[in-house]
């Protein structure tokens, strides 16, 4: 066998305990099987939201250096036009697919791009030989419309706008079919790099008509019971330590038994649909795996699976206009159809992220710690001595690109590419960790992050975090300090107990901000 095929699969807004192998009740047999034979990364950190995470995945460096210092949709006036805040994957970084394509790889992408709308910023321009990409951060799952673009400008295939809707379109199934088609269309023996970026289970909660009745009644006990059940199973599986207590529910989450009967029915229906979207994604991944197996390519393929951020708990009303939401019918009966546009609310998000604090948008564990695993086919596993394991070492989404290049034996060009200065990667290869030659990728190295003025710094067991107010409604902060290894739920603030340690981490964060060009948004308090 020659060089390895590499497949990166990203779920959108998937919660930490949603999948079976992480403690969830949702039926995900294909992902569970892969994870069971791979390495589950229980301390994998992405970003609080989608495009910053994707920028780091594609570049191997910090999102503030790669052009997504904040989300394009949320850029503050004082950030506009500033380096690192271009709102697209900028030219200071050399994208992973470009490096692999230059090395002879076929490079394929289907699904959510969210790293630039214009043709020169599209997947086709950034190194993908074939691509079918949703440009925006979200769109319908049952047609080609997206949040902020005309329907004829929502998708690009190989750089050109898609103006005709494929028959029977359902996002998850179509993205998988197109990826299988791309992989099968190769006319030589060169390996492929596939980036399959699902839009599920990101809102709107929509499924094909034939799947609307799946999971009926499965969530009638509510999110408080589910949260407790998820944590128990995660502990039983060894994902979460036995001594981690379930923290009190956040004040913004209305207790299930305080909801009216109608509210409970509506909320339960939302979770039924969310679970169905996850089940469909799992089934489609199964189809892709089967196609690779039938083509005798699976043994020489490495698969990286992750979510881009934590589960979504921010109300849609905070992010989308009333006019937009009012154009849909979100009655309980209509939920899940093409005419509905709904998320699943903070109660289910809190359960999805159990036992962590908060959800997407936050730099607490609930916003950034995501389900992830690496699976290696027999050929690769043998060559690199990658064994099935559960691994608690801290790794980040920035580490994927250097790991993939290491696996492919393709060097990063360093500081220059075709006569142009480029940025090196800040991430590190995980291959020595996966081969169990080392216990750590980052050791005591400070790992900083910032988004929407929220700030965090992880260093060994310690984490300092200055969190935003929920939904950006009010001022955030102050700095808090946690021992994440002992308290992953961030329930015991140690700032007053260890002021010197907090000062050290804040100083490390200040250095990180200078190195990466962080510009605090003007709405900062």
Half-sphere exposure of residue 30: CA atoms within 13 angstroms, side-chain side? 15
List C-alpha distances in Å: 478 to 467, 481, 505, 525.
7, 10, 14, 11
Q: Is 50 a catalytic residue?
A: yes
Question: Of 64, 106, 114, 141, which is the active-site residue?
Answer: 114
Beta-bridge mates of residue 40: 373, 390
Q: Is 114 a catalytic residue?
A: yes
Placement of tokens 């299930």 in the chain:
256
Mention every residue, 6+ apart, whose C-beta is less than 8 A from residue 158: 124, 130, 131, 132
- 317, exposed or middle or buried, with CB in 10 Å at 0-12, 13-18, 19+? exposed
List C-alpha distances in Å: 336 to 17, 114, 140, 323, 332.
22, 24, 11, 20, 9
Q: What angle do CA 96, 97, 103 make, to 5 degrees?
A: 95
Question: Of 50, 64, 121, 442, which is the active-site residue?
Answer: 50
Q: Tell me the C-alpha distance between 493 and 281, whole Å.
A: 38
Beta-bridge mates of residue 192: 106
Q: Tell me the C-alpha distance between 122 and 101, whole Å.
A: 15
User: What length does the chain have?
Assistant: 525
Residue 176: both structure tokens together: 């998988």
List C-alpha distances in Å: 161 to 41, 129, 152, 166, 393.
37, 16, 7, 13, 42
Beta-bridge mates of residue 109: 131, 195
Residue 269: both structure tokens together: 């229906």
Nearest Cα to Cα of residue 363 among 262, 252, 432, 465: 465
Catalytic residues: 50, 114
């Amino acid at each position: 066998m020659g060089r390895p095929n590499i497949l990166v699969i990203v779920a959108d807004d998937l919660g930490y305990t949603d999948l079976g192998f992480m403690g969830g009740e949702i039926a995900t047999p294909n992902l569970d099987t892969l994870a069971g034979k791979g390495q589950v990364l229980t301390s994998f950190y992405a970003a609080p939201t989608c495009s910053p995470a994707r920028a780091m995945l594609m570049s191997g460096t910090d999102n503030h250096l790669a052009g997504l210092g904040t989300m394009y949709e949320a850029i503050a006036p004082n950030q506009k036009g500033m380096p690192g805040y271009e709102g697209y994957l900028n030219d200071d970084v050399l994208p992973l697919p470009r490096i692999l394509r230059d090395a002879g790889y076929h490079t394929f992408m289907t699904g959510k791009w969210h790293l630039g709308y214009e043709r020169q910023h599209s997947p086709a321009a950034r190194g993908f030989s074939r691509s079918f990409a949703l440009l925006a951060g979200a769109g319908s799952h049952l047609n080609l419309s997206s949040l902020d673009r005309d329907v004829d400008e929502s998708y690009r295939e190989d750089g050109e706008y898609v103006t005709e809707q494929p028959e029977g379109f359902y996002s998850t199934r179509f993205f998988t079919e197109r990826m299988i088609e791309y992989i099968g269309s190769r006319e030589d023996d060169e390996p492929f790099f596939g980036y399959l970026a699902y839009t599920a289970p990101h809102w709107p909660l929509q499924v094909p008509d034939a799947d609307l009745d799946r999971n009926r009644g499965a969530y009638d006990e509510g999110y408080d019971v589910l949260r407790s059940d998820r944590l128990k199973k995660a502990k039983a599986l060894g994902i979460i330590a036995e001594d981690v207590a379930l923290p009190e529910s956040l004040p913004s989450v209305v207790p299930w038994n305080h909801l009216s009967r109608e509210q409970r029915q509506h909320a339960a229906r939302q979770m039924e649909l969310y679970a169905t979207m996850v089940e469909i994604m799992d089934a489609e991944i199964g189809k892709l795996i089967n196609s690779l197996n039938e083509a005798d390519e699976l043994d020489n393929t490495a698969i990286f699976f992750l979510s881009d951020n934590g589960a979504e708990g921010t109300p849609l009303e905070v992010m989308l206009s009333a006019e937009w939401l009012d154009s849909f019918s979100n009655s309980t009966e209509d939920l899940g159809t093409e005419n509905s546009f709904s998320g699943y609310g903070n109660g289910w998000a809190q359960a999805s992220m159990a036992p962590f604090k908060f959800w997407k948008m936050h730099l607490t564990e609930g916003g950034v710690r995501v389900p992830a695993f690496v699976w290696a086919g027999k050929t690769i596993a043998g060559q690199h001595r990658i064994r099935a394991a559960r691994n608690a070492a801290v790794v980040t989404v920035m580490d994927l690109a250097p790991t993939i290049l290491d696996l492919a034996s393709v060097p990063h060009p360093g500081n220059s590419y075709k006569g142009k200065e480029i940025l090196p990667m800040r991430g590190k290869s995980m291959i020595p960790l996966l081969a169990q030659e080392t216990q750590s990728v980052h050791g005591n190295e400070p790992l900083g992050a910032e988004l929407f003025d929220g700030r965090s710094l992880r260093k060994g067991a310690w984490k300092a975090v200055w969190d935003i107010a929920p939904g950006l409604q009010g001022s955030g902060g102050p700095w808090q300090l946690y021992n994440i290894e002992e308290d992953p739920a961030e329930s015991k603030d140690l700032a007053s107990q260890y002021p010197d340690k907090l000062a050290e981490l804040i100083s490390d964060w200040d250095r990180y901000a200078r190195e990466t060009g962080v510009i605090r948004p003007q709405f900062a308090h």
